[in-house]
């Protein structure tokens, strides 16, 4: 397709592959402290990035320990207190049944985070494996797998996940799997081009000529050096997956009603647009902030961090 | 040139066939018998008459071997017949072609807005010498791709329909009804256009010909628009496929938010009713639009940049 016209150059370019130093991950003591100080300085120079990290940390905390943020029950409401606008008592106001919206958003983080992680994990594992096999084995296997990936790319992602939802049924996990499979193609492409790039590197050739088996070449040299861009893509995919999952649950295919999933919260609030703006506006802001934060972190991982070295 | 065209056409047909096959596999093979899903979709009673099930199976040909089914369906699909919708009983193709004009109107308006606003933003951001203005403008596109489309739509409805009463909140009537949906759909699309164009403009401004033009005394605007923009907009064409995908996917959400008739509404209703023939029709139709737009880009590209065909034919002779 049109991609193949233009992207060819970048795939063909054999950049100087930097072998991963096996020591960095496990270096004890002083080396680690220097690294930590560098991370801190890197963050302090970029207030936007710092705020993004903070947002992500808060969302993760909320999904594991919602009790840290609110003591109210997300499912039980006081019907005499319905449609209260945001105040110091109810930060995000209350809904039509008098349930506290802030507590619903906090408890919903767990569902949404779970769905997002499942989606990215499916895309990462399946796409990464496809790309790895295609790039490492080559020949006809490569051709067959990449043609398949091209086809997946030619179906708009939302339509593919809608078809999968039709086949699999409704529910948070099913929606997450559908979103994950719809983004397999991107991972397969990146993983393949990385494996191809690394496979031609001198150190791979050297270890082959030393008589290393294919699996040790793959595990010790190709995988560690090819993983970087795929991981960056995964962080970038987090934001996309949050949006896709919330769009599908907005359309009504996510968790069934009482569950406070973020997309469902907004579609519930839609019925009260005229008299309770907070029911749609505030959960949406939370989604936007989370996506913005993960995208910012992905951008930092992508270029800024390595350029600073 | 004609070899290039034929090769691209053959590729497009191949991709469409494969897309059909993938959708067939997904919808007819996965767990969950399509017939019981269809029969159960309307009534929520747990037990369905087995004789009725068998009759339905026979009607849709599910009692035949899978390969025969596949050949049957493919043969009909080639002639543009995707069967009848299970929930409404109308022909799938007619349902889709009826809904298409509304969606084209929406996506067309959104694309126009996206290119004008996104393009303008990119040009201004790379032209200005004010650091703060550049920072501000360049921070907008990442924001645009991070907000959920349906949320933007709802906030716009809240502000402009319920508070200010400028535009209708729902429905298809006329130009006034088109404004809010088109703006909503233009937000993520325009953000994408701005991101890509700003990046390629910055690359173009670094080129030697810009230096030459400046040395010859051309003004900044002239360099920016006549030299840099013309060269920078070529690489931006490559994301047209991405844009089209985003537009049709966005239309599903936007049409639901604004209760507009169109392809997106049909799609959402089909998934809700587990209307398998209609969903399959939609998926293949989406792939068709995507493939066609990529094909058009591929065919127009060599006219704009003659180097492409030379490069591709040289590669072909290598292989």
Where do the structural domains in chain B lie, given as residue ranges? 92-272
The pLDDT assigned to A103 comes to: 78
Rounded-to-integer distance, Cα B264 and Cα B253, Å: 7
* CA quadruple A150, A159, A260, A86: dihedral sign: positive
Cα Rg of chain B, angstroms: 24
The pLDDT assigned to B257 comes to: 84
Domains plus CATH for chain A? 49-63+92-308 (1.10.3720.10)
Q: Which residues of B touch A169 (CB under 8 A)?
A: 32
User: Does A305 score more than 70 pLDDT?
Assistant: no
The pLDDT assigned to B138 comes to: 84
Who among A152, A164, A288 is closest to B146 (CB)? A288
Average model confidence (pLDDT) for chain B?
Answer: 79
Check if the beta carbon of residue B185 is closer than 8 Å to that of residue B254. yes
Query: Which one is predicted more confidently, B267 or B4?
Result: B267
CB burial of A104-117 (b: ≥16 within 10 Å; e: otherwise) equals bbbbbbbbbbbbbe
How many beta-carbon pairs below 8 A join chains A and B?
Answer: 164
The pLDDT assigned to B43 comes to: 47
pLDDT band, residue A6 (cuts 50/70/90)? very low
Check if the beta carbon of residue B192 is closer than 8 Å to that of residue B239. yes
Who among A5, A158, A287 is closest to B148 (CB)? A287
The pLDDT assigned to A118 comes to: 92
Q: Which of A176-180, A198-202, B192-196 has the lowest mean pLDDT?
A: A198-202
Q: Is B155's Cβ below 8 Å from some Cβ in A? A: yes
Q: Which of A79-93, B46-60, B135-149, B158-172 has the lowest mean pLDDT?
A: B46-60
Task: Give chain A's count of helices (H) and strands (E).
Answer: 15, 0
| Gap from A210 CA to chain B (nearest CA, Å) | 32
Of the ranges A47-51, A140-144, B58-62, B297-301, the best mean pLDDT one: A140-144
Average model confidence (pLDDT) for chain A?
Answer: 78
User: Does A129 score more than 80 pLDDT?
Assistant: yes
The residues, ordered by sequence, that sit 6+ positions from B176 with a Cβ below 8 Å of its Cβ are B167, B168
pLDDT band, residue A119 (cuts 50/70/90)? very high
pLDDT band, residue B40 (cuts 50/70/90)? low
Q: How far is CA B122 from CA B110, B145, B191, B315, in A?
A: 17, 15, 10, 34
Query: Which one is predicted more confidently, B1 or B304?
Result: B304
Nearest of B146, B124, B87 to residue B266 by alpha carbon: B87
Q: Which residues of A touch B27 (CB under 8 A)?
A: 163, 166-167
The pLDDT assigned to B317 comes to: 41
pLDDT band, residue A1 (cuts 50/70/90)? very low
- A296 is written with which tokens? 């910012």
Rounded-to-integer distance, Cα B283 and Cα B278, Å: 9
Tell me A304's DSSP state.
I
Question: In a 3-state reduction of DSSP, which class is residue B45?
Answer: coil
Give residue for tokens 């398949």: A148
Biggest alpha carbon–alpha carbon distance for chain B: 85
Rounded-to-integer distance, Cα B53 and Cα B219, Å: 75
Please tell me whether the overall predicted TM-score, pTM, comes out greater than 0.90 for this model.
Answer: no
Check if the beta carbon of residue B86 is closer than 8 Å to that of residue B38. yes
User: Does A196 score more than 80 pLDDT?
Assistant: yes
Q: Among residues 35-54 of chain A, which lie with CB inside 8 Å of chain B? A: none
pLDDT tens digits for range B182-223: 888 889 888 888 888 888 888 888 888 888 888 888 788 888
pLDDT band, residue B1 (cuts 50/70/90)? low
Query: Which one is predicted more confidently, A2 or B159?
Result: B159
User: How many C-alpha atoms does B155 have within 13 Å on its Cβ side?
Assistant: 16
Average pLDDT (A128-148) is: 85
Check if the beta carbon of residue A163 is closer than 8 Å to that of residue A175. no
Which residues on adjacent β-strands are paired with residue B84? B91
Q: Which of A140-154, B165-179, B254-268 has the lowest mean pLDDT?
A: B165-179
Would you call B238 and A5 a contact, using CB atoms and an 8 Å cutoff? Answer: yes
pLDDT band, residue B271 (cuts 50/70/90)? confident
Average pLDDT (B7-26) is: 83
pLDDT band, residue A101 (cuts 50/70/90)? confident
DSSP H helical ranges for chain B: 2-29, 34-42, 50-60, 66-78, 92-127, 131-146, 149-156, 174-205, 208-215, 220-222, 230-236, 240-257, 263-272, 276-304, 307-318
Check if the beta carbon of residue A204 is closer than 8 Å to that of residue A180. no
Rounded-to-integer distance, Cα A259 and Cα A77, Å: 14
User: Does B261 score more than 80 pLDDT?
Assistant: yes
Give the domain B92-272 fold: MetI-like fold (1.10.3720)
Check if the beta carbon of residue B196 is closer than 8 Å to that of residue B90. no
Average pLDDT (B178-185) is: 86
User: Does B307 score more than 50 pLDDT?
Assistant: yes
User: Does B263 score more than 80 pLDDT?
Assistant: yes
User: Does A72 score more than 60 pLDDT?
Assistant: yes
User: Does A243 score more than 80 pLDDT?
Assistant: yes
pLDDT band, residue A121 (cuts 50/70/90)? very high
User: Does A30 score more than 60 pLDDT?
Assistant: no
Q: Among residues 238-297 of chain A, which lie with CB inside 8 Å of chain B? A: 239, 243, 246-247, 250-253, 263, 266-267, 269-270, 273-274, 277, 280-281, 284, 287-288, 291-292, 295-296
Would you call B18 and A157 a contact, using CB atoms and an 8 Å cutoff? Answer: no
Q: What are phi and psi of B39, to 5 degrees?
A: -65, -35
Among chain A residues, the shortest Cα distance to B152 is held by A284
pLDDT band, residue A11 (cuts 50/70/90)? very low
Q: Which of A72-76, B61-65, B140-144 has the lowest mean pLDDT?
A: B61-65
């Amino acid at each position: 397709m049109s991609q193949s016209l233009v992207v060819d150059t970048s795939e063909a370019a054999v950049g100087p592959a930097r072998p991963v130093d096996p020591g960095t991950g496990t270096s004890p003591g002083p080396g680690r402290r220097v690294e930590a100080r560098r991370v801190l300085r890197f963050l302090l120079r970029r207030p936007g990035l710092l705020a993004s990290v903070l947002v992500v940390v808060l969302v993760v905390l909320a999904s594991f320990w919602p009790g840290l943020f609110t003591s109210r029950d997300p499912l039980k409401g006081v019907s005499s207190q319905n449609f209260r606008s945001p105040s110091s008592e109810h930060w995000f106001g209350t809904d039509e049944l008098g349930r506290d919206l802030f507590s619903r958003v906090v408890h919903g983080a767990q569902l949404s985070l779970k769905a997002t992680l499942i989606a990215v994990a499916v895309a990462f594992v399946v796409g990464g494996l496809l790309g790895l096999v295609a790039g490492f084995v080559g020949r006809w296997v490569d051709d067959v797998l990449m043609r398949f990936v091209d086809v997946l790319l030619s179906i708009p992602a939302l339509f593919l996940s809608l078809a999968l939802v039709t086949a699999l049924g409704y529910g948070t996990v099913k929606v997450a799997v559908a979103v994950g499979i719809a983004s397999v193609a991107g991972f397969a492409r990146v993983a393949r081009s990385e494996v191809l790039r690394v496979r031609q590197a001198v150190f791979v050739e050297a270890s082959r000529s030393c008589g290393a088996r294919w699996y040790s070449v793959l595990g010790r040299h190709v995988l560690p050096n090819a993983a970087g861009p795929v991981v960056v893509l995964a962080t970038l995919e987090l934001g996309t997956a949050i949006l896709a999952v919330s769009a599908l649950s907005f359309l009504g295919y996510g968790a069934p009603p009482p569950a406070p999933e973020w997309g469902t919260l907004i579609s519930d609030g839609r019925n009260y647009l005229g008299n309770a703006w907070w029911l749609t506006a505030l959960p949406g802001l939370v989604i936007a902030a989370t996506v913005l934060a993960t995208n910012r972190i992905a951008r930092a991982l992508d270029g800024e961090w390595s350029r600073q070295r | 040139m004609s070899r290039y065209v034929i090769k691209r056409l053959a590729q497009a047909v191949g991709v469409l066939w494969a897309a059909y096959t993938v959708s067939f596999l997904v919808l007819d093979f996965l767990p969950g018998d399509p017939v019981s899903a269809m029969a159960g979709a309307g009534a929520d009673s747990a037990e369905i008459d087995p004789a009725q099930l068998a009759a339905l199976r026979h009607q849709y040909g599910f009692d035949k071997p899978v390969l025969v089914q596949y050949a049957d369906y493919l043969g009909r699909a080639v002639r543009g017949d995707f069967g009848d919708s299970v929930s409404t009983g109308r022909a799938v193709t007619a349902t889709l072609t009826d809904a298409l004009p509304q969606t084209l109107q929406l996506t067309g308006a959104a694309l126009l807005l996206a290119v004008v606003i996104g393009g303008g933003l990119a040009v201004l951001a790379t032209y200005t010498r004010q650091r703060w203005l550049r920072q501000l403008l360049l921070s907008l596109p990442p924001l645009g791709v991070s907000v959920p489309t349906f949320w933007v739509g709802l906030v716009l409805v809240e502000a402009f329909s319920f508070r200010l009463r400028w535009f209708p909140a729902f429905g298809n009537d006329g130009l006034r009804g088109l404004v809010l949906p088109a703006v909503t759909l233009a937000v993520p699309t325009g953000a994408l256009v701005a991101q890509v164009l700003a990046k390629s403009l910055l690359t173009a401004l670094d080129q030697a010909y810009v230096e030459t033009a400046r040395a010859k005394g051309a003004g900044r605007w002239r360099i920016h628009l006549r030299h840099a923009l013309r060269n920078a907009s070529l690489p931006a064409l490559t994301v047209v496929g991405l844009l089209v995908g985003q537009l049709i996917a966005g239309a599903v959400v936007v049409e639901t938010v604004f209760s507009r008739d169109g392809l997106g509404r049909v799609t959402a209703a089909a998934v809700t009713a587990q209307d398998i023939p209609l969903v399959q029709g939609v998926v293949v139709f989406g792939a068709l639009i995507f493939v066609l737009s990529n094909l058009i880009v591929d065919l127009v590209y060599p006219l704009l940049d003659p180097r492409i065909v030379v490069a591709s034919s040289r590669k072909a002779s290598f292989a």
